[in-house]
Chains A and B, each alone.
Chain A
Amino acid sequence: MIALIRAELYMVFRQKRTYYGLAAILIIELFIMAGAWFQGNDIIDMILENLSQNFYLEGNLLNGHLVLYIVLNALWFNLPLIIMIIVSGFVTNEYKDKTLQTVLLQAVRKQDYILSKYIIAIIFTLIVLSLLMASASLLAYGIFGQGDLIVYINGLNFYESNEAFRRIGMAFMSGTLLMIFYSVTSITIAVVFKEMTITWILCALFLILNTLLLKIDFGSADSWFLPKLVDTWQYFFHYEIPWPAVHHNHILLLCYTLVFMGFGTFLFVKKDIG
């Protein structure tokens, strides 16, 4: 299995399309950062307008923390589709080129092969998120410096620089878990539909439905409903972090991830190839 994962990883990074995908993600990030800078100015102006009459505000409020917070907001909305497109290609391209058949004609078990694809998808997502985290932090702190973070969630919340850094880090990790879920789901969709364009369309549909359903109230079922887990990262910017809800959502998301992975593996093993 490890040999399979290493070989698959080597092949992922030998393909040009992987680098095109990574470049696209970095371009998106740059645009988001530029947007964050303008948006950040507007947010600060709005806050200052209301507060400066009663409070004395000191220091640089448009700082790296605020920019990173705005980047996080935009990233979790824009990143999933591109990650799903790149990751689903790990399977659909092999169906298209019939290299899947070539691999399975070797002494390789079908379940090992598809599990290695899931593991590669997770590793790839972790690499992408680490790159994003590192580059976004470098740019945000390099250009805008550090300072206290001001966020509007159930009222205005102020966090000191160290606390802001800790919360942004945790939010990033929470978002990473969500991205892993999306990439695992894209592999499962690719296993079911095999064809690249259909897989892309269904990945987009899955994301759109998730976003639409997030706004609908399902009463007591809400806490178990997949789309409601999408904005768990926001909990880290509540003044008191609701840890039971955070743990519940993360464990549930992990369960959904494992169920999707198990379903994809079962289907792949059962289905004919070619």
Chain B
Amino acid sequence: MIFAERLCKSYKDIRALRDVSLTVKSGEICGILGPNGAGKSTLFKILCKLVTPDSGSFRIESIKKKPLGAIIEKPSLFEYLSAYENLLMLSRIQKAPSDQKTIEMALEEVGLSPERKDCVRNYSMGMKQRLSIAIALLNQPDCLILDEPFLGLDPLGMQSLRQLIQKLAHKDNLTILISSHLLDELSRTCDTLNVISKGEIIQSGTKDHILNLTSNTYVIRGKNLLKSMELKNRAAMIEGDYASLPLTAADAPNLLKSLVDEGIDITYFGSEMNLGQLYQSK
């Protein structure tokens, strides 16, 4: 469990964090959503004890030698070593099991081949991300912090990383805190979400709650949209086979039903996330 209370941090004149409080339970995946410079990395560095907060406190509930594993900002690896050697060296320095079988299993768990012997500098960004997760998981921590883990991954890479994170939380009961500015990926991966802007947590709750806050514009694609009276009455903006209109999540099923009743041939109906509005939604 991760528990933080009223964390504050300033860098000279810039307030990076302001009264940030957060609780993440065991087995929960908590997302931190925020634009660049919102304070996500500073929060994570504090939780990882790399940076000392100006005020506030935090607690990582764990009896493990390494309570927390983390990737901060980007994968930082020993580029002149192979993936195997990276894991081997970082296991040895903390006296974690470093036999061949354990290291190979750690590589396989994140989908990397133990057969590959070349230097990490030849790896793609996705492979480096995976190796970083394997490093974060060394010594079996109870909590995992992943700062922008989806950065630079292709759709398949994102999918397999999402599955890995969900397995770690829901099967292995790890407490996981993830940051991203990709709401779509966070909403698919996390159980709860916190929105951070200008160093403050401005919204928090279940992912459905946060998604509802962003989803006040809906997009419809289909044929003969111009014939719909319902869309005209709701002052929708219609351009050919595309229409958009402001709509609450609660009202979305009513509109959909009306359009079907009017005989509109709908090929897509979905919400458009408005992050700008979300970041100012305090």
Which residues of B have CB within 8 Å of A107? 65-66, 94-96, 139
Task: Tell me the chain B residues, 69-95 only, with Cβ under 8 Å from chain A.
Answer: 69-70, 72-74, 76-81, 85, 89-90, 92-95
**Does chain A have a CB within 8 A of B105?**
no
**Does chain A have a CB within 8 A of B169?**
no
* Contact status of A16 and B80, CB under 8 A, knowing A102-B90, A103-B90, A108-B94: yes
* Contact status of A105 and B89, CB under 8 A, knowing A14-B81, A98-B74, A98-B76: no
Q: Which of B68, B92, B139 contacts A7, CB < 8 Å?
A: B92
**Does chain A have a CB within 8 A of B207?**
no
Binds A, one of B31-39, B43-51, B178-186: B43-51
* Contact status of A101 and B80, CB under 8 A, knowing A106-B138, A273-B51, A274-B45: no
CA distance A107 to B78 in the complex (A): 17
The smallest beta-carbon distance between B180 and chain A, in angstroms, is 19
The smallest beta-carbon distance between B70 and chain A, in angstroms, is 5
Query: How many residues belonging to A are interface residues under a CB distance threshold of 8 Å?
Result: 24
Which residues of A have CB within 8 Å of B135? 102, 106
Task: Tell me the chain A residues, 91-142 only, with Cβ under 8 Å from chain B.
Answer: 97-99, 101-108
**Does chain A have a CB within 8 A of B52?**
yes
Contact check, B77 vs A7: say whether CB atoms are below 8 A apart: no
A7, A105, A108 pick with most chain B CB within 10 angstroms? A105
Contact check, B136 vs A105: say whether CB atoms are below 8 A apart: yes
* Contact status of A101 and B93, CB under 8 A, knowing A106-B138, A106-B139, A272-B51: no
CA distance A3 to B92 in the complex (A): 6
Which residues of B have CB within 8 Å of A106? 66, 90, 93-94, 135, 138-139
- Could you mark each residue 181-202 of chain B with 1 if its beta carbon is under 8 Å from any beta carbon of chain A, else 0? 0000000000000000000000
Which residues of B have CB within 8 Å of A10? 89
Contact check, B89 vs A101: say whether CB atoms are below 8 A apart: no
Which residues of A have CB within 8 Å of B136? 105
**Does chain B have a CB within 8 A of A6?**
yes
CA distance A108 to B48 in the complex (A): 12
- Could you mark each residue 215-254 of chain A with 1 if its beta carbon is under 8 Å from any beta carbon of chain B, else 0? 0000000000000000000000000000000000000000
CA distance A274 to B47 in the complex (A): 13
Q: Is the interface of B mostly helix, strand, loop or mixed?
A: loop
Contact check, A102 vs B89: say whether CB atoms are below 8 A apart: no
**Does chain B have a CB within 8 A of A204?**
no
**Which single residue of chain A is at the shortest CB-CB distance from B51?**
A272
Task: Tell me the chain A residues, 64-112 only, with Cβ under 8 Å from chain B.
Answer: 97-99, 101-108
Which residues of B have CB within 8 Å of A273? 45, 50-51
CA distance A230 to B62 in the complex (A): 51
**Does chain B have a CB within 8 A of A53?**
no
Task: Tell me the chain A residues, 260-274 only, with Cβ under 8 Å from chain B.
Answer: 272-274
B50, B51, B136, B139 pick with most chain A CB within 10 angstroms? B50
Task: Tell me the chain A residues, 1-46 only, with Cβ under 8 Å from chain B.
Answer: 3-4, 6-8, 10-11, 14-16
**Which single residue of chain B is at the shortest CB-CB distance from A15?**
B80
Which residues of B have CB within 8 Å of A104? 50
CA distance A221 to B68 in the complex (A): 52
Which residues of A have CB within 8 Å of B94? 3, 106-108
* Contact status of A103 and B50, CB under 8 A, knowing A11-B81, A98-B73: no
Contact check, B48 vs A7: say whether CB atoms are below 8 A apart: no
Contact check, A105 vs B70: say whether CB atoms are below 8 A apart: yes
Which residues of A have CB within 8 Å of B132? 102
Which residues of A have CB within 8 Å of B79? 97
The smallest beta-carbon distance between A5 and chain B, in angstroms, is 9
Which residues of B have CB within 8 Å of A15? 80
Contact check, B76 vs A99: say whether CB atoms are below 8 A apart: yes
CA distance A98 to B135 in the complex (A): 14
- Could you mark each residue 138-182 of chain B with 1 if its beta carbon is under 8 Å from any beta carbon of chain A, else 0? 110000000000000000000000000000000000000000000
Contact check, B93 vs A103: say whether CB atoms are below 8 A apart: yes
Which residues of A have CB within 8 Å of B96? 107
The smallest beta-carbon distance between B78 and chain A, in angstroms, is 6
Which residues of B have CB within 8 Å of A274? 45, 50-51, 72-73
Which residues of B have CB within 8 Å of A272? 45, 50-52
* Contact status of A99 and B45, CB under 8 A, knowing A107-B65, A272-B51, A274-B72: no
Q: A99-B78, A104-B50 are in contact. List 4 more A-B contacts (CB 8 A).
A: A8-B93, A99-B76, A103-B90, A106-B66
- 5 smallest CB-CB distances across A and B, nearest first, come from A98-B76, A107-B66, A107-B94, A273-B50, A272-B51
| 16 CB-based A-B contacts, threshold 8 Å | A3-B94, A7-B89, A11-B81, A97-B78, A101-B72, A102-B78, A102-B90, A102-B132, A102-B135, A104-B50, A105-B48, A106-B93, A107-B66, A108-B93, A274-B51, A274-B72
